[in-house]
């Protein structure tokens, strides 16, 4: 298999008759961050549990750090760390104790690293886990994971419940992880987080991969949103090839345009002497939503 | 008026709202509990009817009854089952066989159901969700108290009505109930039934209180069980020595309702008043405490884990620390009490010549081997099952995933956790053996029997391990049912030991049960065959269970 940290091809996992994952492809290149996106119930957590050897796949291939996640679970787990999205803790132990337990089972962390992460994430390690808020429970798992030097970080919505300051700290940590050449699988619903961290993005729906690639390559396939203010001549744009969804409201004009048609359209626009102009490449959110909506439309079309 | 003043307004001001939406919650609580409630009802009422019917068929005349009663009217059985009401009759035999077991089962069952609805919901954060609706502060407590009280009383009435119907044969009154009129039989039957209901109401009171004072549902059940245990021991001391100690324990009040004899109602009233006081105290605590909080203050803990805690087995020990302490306390107190009762039995044997005693308890070794040692060993067996189920607790609470996502293998994880259980079983058998042997030895001034008593306990090591291994088997292959099946097996074994033949289970099948199959040393000579077979079965169950655990999904 390739040298990718994670490589999944045609993964299938069903629970009884329910197909949670149905032909999913996913790869995480070594030293890179892959964003893992999909609506709730799309099969992200199931895929991650398969990658951790907690669930046994029904079909397809999966390799983690070059090994089989099911048969080589123990040796692989020494090289990776996992942060669940809904962190469950032992209510009677303190946060500090739990971090040590998880870290020790994984292969150990140094006191300095633990202390550094506790300070960065501002977690009080002396409180019993039952007294922690959701964000603080999340921090316990994050501190244990971030303090380690594991080759691969498997993160399932790791920042759910974190405040914006901690979210920023988390992004700094991941950038450091990347700088150290380690790999990250990041499942998240926070588009800004994925946009700023991920080298590659995998979008899934109903257990299938819809698209995987870099953000730039995805943008190629999606239209750029242009907003401009024109004193006159807005109607001339209507006949121009490559312009879609034109909306004129007095001076304010907005439309979308295919990446390929952008030079021609901008030339034509320049001749109209725009007062103001902004052109935004599609955000990840828009890409995600466009996939979501086309899929809904497709499935409704099939039903008819 | 400032906002602060409004917040500090006395609780009495909102008192009329403290039960708002109680009706809605009652319906909801019933919906969540009706299956369990009906199961308890069928088991308790059914067992009394079943045992009565069995003894009616078994004992056809008074001489047989008298012989049965003389067998069981020994201090050792008095210690276990309590004072026998109206001895020479079929209902007397029924009371002797099942009143203590059945009514305490109801009391503890009610306690568990209360905890499930009260502290359990707080632990899981569900209470927060329903309290965010316009629900009065006391509505949750009140709905559980009402439902469980009604359940207890309905079980009592149904048992009473069933016994009244079964004893209404005017031609056979003497034999069935040993009273002179059908009216007296009916009245006695109702007293009998309500004495069972009283133990349920005791569970309501104890449950209400322990749920308010405990930091977790496990502690609420544990403290409640400990209270029942203490009350059981107090009445045991009173019953065996025929003194006032029986009257100190509310369980004794239930016994002293004395159906078909004195037919006392006022001990029932006393229990109702006691339960009401306990509920009132719980109510007061609830008025002032925070949701999810207990009266025990939250303390800061250590910022890091010791070297011990970071091992799987070390973590397993730490997670069960509270439970270990509670079990050790029980396993010191119970054998001490039983050991001291042996003296009374010895005195009785030397002083009288009771026909029945010749059956089994004619020697001290007989009492030890036939009754005390298996009973205490089964208590260790219950611990074994409970300790093993902690594996599933980790999985159900979502913390197994985090551990298996680290460098620990599944089999290694399970074996390390089970090793903790195994070592604890060995230590607990030793503690129990030393306590029973020492208290008995001290009383008869002969310590030479101590090693024999300790050795006899270790004969039950395979049986105890078998109970744990039944769970492991289920954990590997049917994880969702493993815990309930394990407890059903444990309760069934307990019932077989106490009720035994009355369930009409063939002797050969009873002899196959792990605790019956183990040779009753020192009453009988040692026989290694069953020991080896039980060990092999326990080992096989464990191996097969672990194979299943390796292959299955986590969490399942």
pLDDT value of residue A138: 94
CA distance B303 to chain A (A): 5
Residue A256 binned pLDDT confidence (cut-offs 50, 70, 90):
confident
**Residue B381, helix vs strand vs coil:** helix
Average pLDDT over residues A250-254: 88
Domain spans, chain A: 6-218, 223-281
Question: Do B234 and B156 sit in the same domain of this protein?
Answer: yes
pLDDT value of residue A251: 87
Residue A2 binned pLDDT confidence (cut-offs 50, 70, 90):
low
Least confident of A21-25, A205-209, B345-349: B345-349
Sort out which chain B residues have CB atoms less than 8 A from A80's CB and list them.
405
pLDDT value of residue B151: 97
Cβ of residue B300 closer than 8 Å to a chain A Cβ = yes
For residue A75, the chain B residue with the least C-alpha distance is B407
For residue A133, the chain B residue with the least C-alpha distance is B125
Cβ of residue A77 closer than 8 Å to a chain B Cβ = yes
pLDDT value of residue A58: 92
Average pLDDT over residues B224-242: 86
For chain B, give the percent of residues with pLDDT over 90: 47
Cβ of residue B125 closer than 8 Å to a chain A Cβ = no
**Residue A94, helix vs strand vs coil:** strand
Distance CA A258, CA B415 (A): 61
pLDDT at A133 over 50: yes
Distance CA B521, CA A138 (A): 55
pLDDT at B284 over 80: yes
Whether domain A223-281 has CATH 1.10.10.1800: the reply is: no
Residue B46 binned pLDDT confidence (cut-offs 50, 70, 90):
very high
pLDDT value of residue B131: 78
Residue A142 binned pLDDT confidence (cut-offs 50, 70, 90):
very high
Distance CA B34, CA A261 (A): 68
Q: What integer best gives the mean pLDDT of chain B?
A: 86
Cβ of residue B555 closer than 8 Å to a chain A Cβ = yes
Sort out which chain A residues have CB atoms less than 8 A from B406's CB and list them.
77-78, 102, 105-107
Record: contact A126-B405, CB cut-off 8 A: no
Average pLDDT over residues B101-110: 93
Residue A296 binned pLDDT confidence (cut-offs 50, 70, 90):
low
Record: contact A93-B318, CB cut-off 8 A: yes
Cβ of residue B547 closer than 8 Å to a chain A Cβ = no
pLDDT at B228 over 60: yes
The answer as to whether B6 is a domain residue is no
For residue A55, the chain B residue with the least C-alpha distance is B553
pLDDT value of residue B346: 59
The answer as to whether B12 is a domain residue is no
Structure tokens at B159: 């048992």
The answer as to whether B259 is a domain residue is yes
CA distance A227 to chain B (A): 46
The answer as to whether B28 is a domain residue is no
Q: Each residue of B287-342: pLDDT tens digit?
A: 877 777 766 666 788 888 888 888 999 999 998 988 898 889 889 888 887 777 67
Cβ of residue A158 closer than 8 Å to a chain B Cβ = no
pLDDT at A144 over 80: yes
pTM of structure: 0.79
Average pLDDT over residues B527-543: 96
Distance CA B217, CA B119 (A): 5
B93, B54 in Cβ contact below 8 A? no
Average pLDDT over residues A233-251: 84
Domain tally, chain B: 2
For residue B393, the chain A residue with the least C-alpha distance is A90
**Domain assignment of residue B196, given as a range:** 39-294
For residue B305, the chain A residue with the least C-alpha distance is A97
Cis peptide bond prior to B522, omega within 30° of 0: yes
Question: Do B494 and B519 sit in the same domain of this protein?
Answer: yes
Interface test with A, best of B122, B124, B406 (most A CBs within 10 A): B406
Least confident of B50-59, B467-476, B500-509: B500-509
Q: Each residue of A67-94: pLDDT tens digit?
A: 999 988 888 988 999 999 888 888 888 9
**Residue B421, helix vs strand vs coil:** helix
Question: Do B289 and B340 sit in the same domain of this protein?
Answer: no
The answer as to whether B13 is a domain residue is no
The answer as to whether B211 is a domain residue is yes
Record: contact B302-A97, CB cut-off 8 A: yes
pLDDT value of residue A115: 95
Residue A179 binned pLDDT confidence (cut-offs 50, 70, 90):
very high
pLDDT at B498 over 80: no
Q: What integer best gives the mean pLDDT of chain A?
A: 88
Residue B16 binned pLDDT confidence (cut-offs 50, 70, 90):
low
Least confident of A31-35, A130-134, B361-365: B361-365
Average pLDDT over residues A141-162: 93
The H or E element spanning position B530 is: helix B528-551
Bridge partner list, A183: A152
The residue among B33, B179, B171, B173 whose CA lies nearest residue B110 is B33
pLDDT at B277 over 70: yes
Select, from the ranges B54-68, B268-282, B288-302, the one with the highest average predicted confidence (pLDDT): B268-282
Question: Do B273 and B355 sit in the same domain of this protein?
Answer: no
Cβ of residue A125 closer than 8 Å to a chain B Cβ = yes
User: Which of B247, B272, B294 is the last residue in one of the domains?
Assistant: B294
ipTM strictly over 0.90?
no
Bridge partner list, A94: A128
pLDDT value of residue B256: 93
CB-nearest partner of B399 from A90, A100, A107: A90
Sort out which chain B residues have CB atoms less than 8 A from A89's CB and list them.
399
pLDDT value of residue A224: 85
Interface test with B, best of A64, A81, A97, A156 (most B CBs within 10 A): A97
Q: Each residue of B195-209: pLDDT tens digit?
A: 999 999 999 999 999
CA distance A185 to chain B (A): 15
Question: Do B320 and B455 sit in the same domain of this protein?
Answer: yes
The separation between CA B547 and the C-alpha centre of its own chain, rounded to angstroms, equals 32
pLDDT value of residue B362: 53
Record: contact B408-A56, CB cut-off 8 A: no
Question: Do B347 and B259 sit in the same domain of this protein?
Answer: no
Question: Do B315 and B288 sit in the same domain of this protein?
Answer: no
Question: Do B238 and B327 sit in the same domain of this protein?
Answer: no
Pick the CATH number of A6-218 from 3.40.50.80, 3.50.50.60, 3.90.1150.10, 3.40.50.300: 3.40.50.300
Question: Do B268 and B386 sit in the same domain of this protein?
Answer: no
Question: Do B119 and B212 sit in the same domain of this protein?
Answer: yes
Structure tokens at A141: 């798992």
Residue A174 binned pLDDT confidence (cut-offs 50, 70, 90):
very high
Residue B501 binned pLDDT confidence (cut-offs 50, 70, 90):
low
CA distance B396 to chain A (A): 10
The answer as to whether B466 is a domain residue is yes
Residue B358 binned pLDDT confidence (cut-offs 50, 70, 90):
very low
pLDDT value of residue A3: 79
- Going A140 to A143 to A146 to A149, the CA torsion angle's sign is negative
pLDDT at B357 over 50: no
pLDDT at B10 over 50: no
For chain B, give the percent of residues with pLDDT over 70: 90
DSSP structure class, residue B320: T
Distance CA B511, CA B519 (A): 10
Q: Using CB atoms and an 8 Å cut-off, which of residues 6-45 of chain A contact chain B?
A: none
The answer as to whether B134 is a domain residue is yes
The residue among B311, B397, B417 whose CA lies nearest residue A100 is B311
Select, from the ranges A232-246, B59-73, B149-163, B444-458, the one with the highest average predicted confidence (pLDDT): B149-163
pLDDT value of residue B334: 81
Strands (E), B319-383: none
For chain A, give the percent of residues with pLDDT over 90: 51
Helix ranges, chain A (H): 44-51, 73-77, 95-106, 111-120, 134-146, 164-179, 191-197, 215-220, 262-271, 284-303
Average pLDDT over residues B518-539: 93
Residue contacts between A and B (CB atoms, under 8 Å) = 119
Question: Do B451 and B478 sit in the same domain of this protein?
Answer: yes
Describe the strand order of the beta sheet including A6-15 as a list of residue ranges. A18-28, A6-15, A59-64
Question: Do B104 and B214 sit in the same domain of this protein?
Answer: yes
The residue among A226, A227, A231 whose CA lies nearest residue A272 is A231
Select, from the ranges A22-36, B58-72, B73-87, the one with the highest average predicted confidence (pLDDT): A22-36
Q: Each residue of B415-467: pLDDT tens digit?
A: 999 999 999 999 999 999 999 998 888 877 778 889 999 999 999 999 999 99
Record: contact B300-A126, CB cut-off 8 A: yes
Cβ of residue B403 closer than 8 Å to a chain A Cβ = yes
């Amino acid at each position: 298999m390739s040298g990718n940290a994670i490589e999944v091809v045609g993964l299938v996992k069903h629970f009884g008759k329910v197909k949670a994952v149905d032909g999913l492809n996913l790869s995480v290149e070594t030293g890179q961050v892959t964003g893992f996106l999909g609506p709730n119930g799309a099969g992200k957590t199931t895929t991650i549990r398969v990658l951790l050897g907690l669930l046994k796949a029904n079909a397809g291939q999966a390799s983690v750090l070059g090994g089989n996640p099911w048969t080589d679970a123990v040796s692989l787990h020494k090289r990776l760390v996992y942060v669940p999205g809904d962190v469950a803790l032992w209510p009677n132990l303190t946060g500090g104790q739990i971090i040590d337990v998880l870290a020790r089972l994984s292969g150990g962390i140094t006191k300095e690293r633990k202390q550094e992460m506790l300070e960065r994430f501002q977690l009080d390690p002396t409180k019993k886990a039952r007294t922690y808020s959701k964000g603080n429970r999340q921090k316990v798992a994050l501190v244990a994971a971030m303090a380690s030097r594991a080759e691969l970080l498997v993160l399932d919505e790791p920042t759910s419940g974190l405040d914006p300051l901690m979210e920023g700290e988390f992004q700094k940590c991941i950038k450091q992880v990347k700088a150290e050449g380690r790999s990250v699988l990041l499942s998240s619903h926070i588009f800004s987080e994925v946009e700023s961290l991920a080298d590659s993005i995998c979008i899934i729906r109903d257990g299938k991969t819809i698209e995987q690639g870099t953000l730039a390559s995805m943008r190629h396939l999606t239209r750029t949103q242009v907003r401009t203010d024109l004193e006159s001549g807005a109607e001339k744009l209507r006949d121009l090839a490559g312009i879609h969804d034109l909306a004129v409201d007095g001076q304010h004009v907005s439309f979308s345009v295919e990446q390929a048609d952008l030079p021609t359209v901008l030339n034509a626009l320049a001749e109209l002497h725009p007062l103001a102009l902004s052109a935004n490449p599609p955000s990840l959110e828009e890409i995600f939503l466009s996939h979501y909506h086309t899929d809904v439309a497709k499935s409704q079309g099939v039903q008819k | 008026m400032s906002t602060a003043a409004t917040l500090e307004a006395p609780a009495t001001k909102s008192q009329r709202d403290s039960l708002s939406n109680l009706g809605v919650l009652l319906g909801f609580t019933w919906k969540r509990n009706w299956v369990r409630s009906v199961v308890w009802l069928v088991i308790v009422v059914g067992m009394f009817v079943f045992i009565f019917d069995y003894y009616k068929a078994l004992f056809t005349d008074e001489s047989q009854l008298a012989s049965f009663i003389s067998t069981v009217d020994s201090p050792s059985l008095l210690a276990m089952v309590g004072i026998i009401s109206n001895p020479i009759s079929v209902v007397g035999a029924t009371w002797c066989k099942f009143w203590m077991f059945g009514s305490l089962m109801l009391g503890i069952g009610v306690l568990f159901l209360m905890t499930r609805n009260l502290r359990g919901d707080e632990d899981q954060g569900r209470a927060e969700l329903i309290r965010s609706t316009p629900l009065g502060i006391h509505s949750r407590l009140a709905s559980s108290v009402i439902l469980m009280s009604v359940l207890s009383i309905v079980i009592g009435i149904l048992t009473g009505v069933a016994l009244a119907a079964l004893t209404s044969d005017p031609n056979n009154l003497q034999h069935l109930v040993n009273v002179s009129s059908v009216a007296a039989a009916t009245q006695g039957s109702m007293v009998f039934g309500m004495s069972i209901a009283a133990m349920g109401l005791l569970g309501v009171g104890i449950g209400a209180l322990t749920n308010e004072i405990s930091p977790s549902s496990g502690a609420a059940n544990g403290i409640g069980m400990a209270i029942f245990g203490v009350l059981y021991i107090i009445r045991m001391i009173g019953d065996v020595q025929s003194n006032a100690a029986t009257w100190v324990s509310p369980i004794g009040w239930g016994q002293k309702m004395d159906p078909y004899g004195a037919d006392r109602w006022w001990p029932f009233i006393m229990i109702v008043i006691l339960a009401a006081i306990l509920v009132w105290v719980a109510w007061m605590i609830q008025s002032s405490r925070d949701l999810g909080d207990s009266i025990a203050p939250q303390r800061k803990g250590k910022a890091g884990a010791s070297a011990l805690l970071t091992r799987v087995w070390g973590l397993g020990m730490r997670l069960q620390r509270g439970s270990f302490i509670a079990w050790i306390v029980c396993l010191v107190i119970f054998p001490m009490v039983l050991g001291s009762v042996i003296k009374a039995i010895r005195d009785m044997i030397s002083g009288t010549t009771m026909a029945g005693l010749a059956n089994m308890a004619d020697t001290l070794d007989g009492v030890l081997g036939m009754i005390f040692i298996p009973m205490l060993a089964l208590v260790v067996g219950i611990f074994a099952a409970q300790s093993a189920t902690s594996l599933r607790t980790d999985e159900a609470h979502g913390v197994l995933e985090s551990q298996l996502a680290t460098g620990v293998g599944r089999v290694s994880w399970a074996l390390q956790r089970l090793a903790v259980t195994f070592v604890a079983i060995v230590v607990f058998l030793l503690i129990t053996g030393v306590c029973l042997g020492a208290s008995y030895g001290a009383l008869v001034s002969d310590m030479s029997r101590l090693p024999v008593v300790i050795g006899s306990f270790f004969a039950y090591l395979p049986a105890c391990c078998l109970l744990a291994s039944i769970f492991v088997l289920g954990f590997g292959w049917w994880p969702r049912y493993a815990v309930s099946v394990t407890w059903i097996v444990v309760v069934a074994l307990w019932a077989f030991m106490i009720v035994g033949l009355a369930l009409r289970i063939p002797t050969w099948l009873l002899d196959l049960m792990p605790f019956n199959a183990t040779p009753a040393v020192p009453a009988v000579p040692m026989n290694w065959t069953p020991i080896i077979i039980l060990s092999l079965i326990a080992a096989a169950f464990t191996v097969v269970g672990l194979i299943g655990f390796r292959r299955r999904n986590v969490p399942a």
